[in-house]
Chains A and B, each alone.
Chain A
Amino acid sequence: AQSVTQLGSHVSVSEGALVLLRCNYSSSVPPYLFWYVQYPNQGLQLLLKYTSAATLVKGINGFEAEFKKSETSFHLTKPSAHMSDAAEYFCAVRLDTGRRALTFGSGTRLQVQP
């Protein structure tokens, strides 16, 4: 079985500051890892994914994440926050099975202060 832990249900940063959203996973086999973003009253949009090709993954809107197997982490970062980054972010893990189900973390709400 797999699980995902997102540290910090709320994160607040100033505009222009570094964004760091933490995600740790547990999995018995190498997983696929995803970050999704959800804007108010909308569905989830894929930010980026890790599928074992490269440990540093670049996504949309300037976000990137680094897969660290030794730390079982997949933290999401962005060098400079923008007001439009305010949203809820979900980390998710999936095993390479036919079920294709995602296991989600509980989410981190990012607030960007002017």
Chain B
Amino acid sequence: NAGVTQTPKFQVLKTGQSMTLQCAQDMNHEYMSWYRQDPGMGLRLIHYSVGAGITDQGEVPNGYNVSRSTTEDFPLRLLSAAPSQTSVYFCATGGQGVRGAPLHFGNGTRLTVT
């Protein structure tokens, strides 16, 4: 049981390049989300999805796009990378139907934009 799988683990981009961070889950969770982690700031929500075909913005959505065509996958796209997007990105999924159900996190993608 893989849980939440993120690829790649590391990525270096030049300013202006585009890329997609992948997130896949095998827990049949309807809720999926993306966070970025920066030193001294905890984790901040970028985008989230409550099911296939439904996405919404979080706290820091600018510069990122998402789509949700299947329950299993929730890719995060950077259309034109900027140095301010250097960060560690985490995908998190959550169960439904249980009050207070926690989020389950992937191991992260460390992105550097030069």
Interface residues of A (CB under 8 A from B): 4, 9, 32, 34, 36, 41-46, 49-52, 90, 94, 96, 98-102, 104-107
Q: Looking across the interface, which residue of chain B has its beta carbon closest to that of A91?
A: B42
Please tell me which one of the listed residues B41, B100, B107 contacts residue A43 in the complex, with CB atoms under 8 A apart: B107
| Majority DSSP secondary structure for residues of A touching B | loop
Please tell me which one of the listed residues A9, A44, A49, A99 contacts residue B100 in the complex, with CB atoms under 8 A apart: A49
Report how many residues on chain B are interfacial, defined by Cβ distance under 8 Å.
27
- In the bound complex, residues from chain B placing their C-beta under 8 Å from that of A98 are 50
Among all A-B residue pairs, the 10 with the closest Cβ atoms: A51-B100, A104-B42, A43-B105, A32-B100, A44-B105, A43-B107, A104-B43, A106-B42, A46-B102, A101-B45
Task: Indicate if the CB atoms of B108 and A49 lie closer than 8 Å.
Answer: no
Interface residues of B (CB under 8 A from A): 4, 31, 33, 35, 40-45, 48, 50, 56, 58, 90, 92, 94, 99-108
Knowing A43-B90, A43-B105, A44-B90 are in contact, say whether A100-B43 is a contact too (CB < 8 A).
no
- In the bound complex, residues from chain B placing their C-beta under 8 Å from that of A41 are 107-108
